[in-house]
Amino acid sequence: MQVELFAAPPRKGEQARRKLLLAGLKFFGDKGFEDASVREIAGAAGKNVASIAYYFGGKEQLYHAVIEGIVTYLGTLFYEVAGEARSFVEQGRKDPAVAVQIMKRILRGFLMEHLEREEIGKIRHLMMREQGDPTEAFEILYDKVLQPQHDLFAQVLAIATGEDPKSPLLILRAHAFFGHVIGFTVARHTVLRRLGVKRLTPEHGELIAFLIDQHVDFISAGLLSSKAQDR
């Protein structure tokens, strides 16, 4: 799905606002909220400093607008697979095989977006800052993106493994699965050095996806078998 970050109508004012959002994303991600200056953000957007107050009200409001834009972007990006997972869970189906396939689709989509989209890299920088040193805006990310996606994946995982979706162990296990993807994105340069390449190609992406698929199969089957033996 082709999704535009901070999508805006072609009107001049809306495009100026979008340029400020894109510049804000870059500098907030690179330097953090405190160290990013409105002057450099406005300059990168080709605007004067007063434009930030005009369009957003100030630096903090610009930052929150960037966060809200990220929420909208990610929600649109993963809308289809999230909808499929939500429908599966709400129908009350207890089919581990289907749950495993949905988990694979979620993780593969998450991986490929991170590997292929430049926008995701910029978003990742900002989100990693919020994870390491949360601001008030973290609540927006958590409530609208992180918690709903994490909880949905955990519910699908619970069907695949036979575990309690609300248990601390299952929640941590869901987090560990997302770590499979994050390990290849946040720690990308280690992988590049180990492979002796300058960038990850689509072929590398397929290899990583295959590896993650295997882990989903092995872990889910092993846990489901263990649950059956305990009965």
Contact predicate 32/129, CB 8 Å: yes
Q: pLDDT tens for residues 122-179? A: 899 999 999 999 999 999 999 999 999 999 999 999 999 999 999 999 999 999 999 9
Whose tokens are 């988990």? That residue is 103
Q: What is the mean pLDDT of the chain?
A: 92
pTM here? 0.90
Question: Fold match between 1-77 and 79-231?
Answer: no
Q: Which CATH class is domain 79-231?
A: mainly alpha
Give the span between the Cα atoms of 184 and 180, in whole angstroms. Answer: 7
pLDDT tens per residue across span 200-219: 999 999 999 999 999 999 99
CB-count burial class (<10 Å; 0-12, 13-18, 19+) for 215: middle
Tens of pLDDT, residues 29-76: 999 999 999 999 999 999 999 999 999 999 999 999 999 999 999 988
Q: What is the mean predicted confidence (pLDDT) over 94-109?
A: 95
Is 1-77 in CATH node 1.10.10.60? yes
Give the CB-side neighbour count of residue 135, counting CA atoms within 13 A.
16
Question: CA 208, CA 229: separation in Å to the nearest integer?
Answer: 32
Question: In angstroms, how far is the first alpha carbon of the chain from the final one?
Answer: 44
Domain residue ranges of the chain, discontinuous segments joined by +: 1-77, 79-231
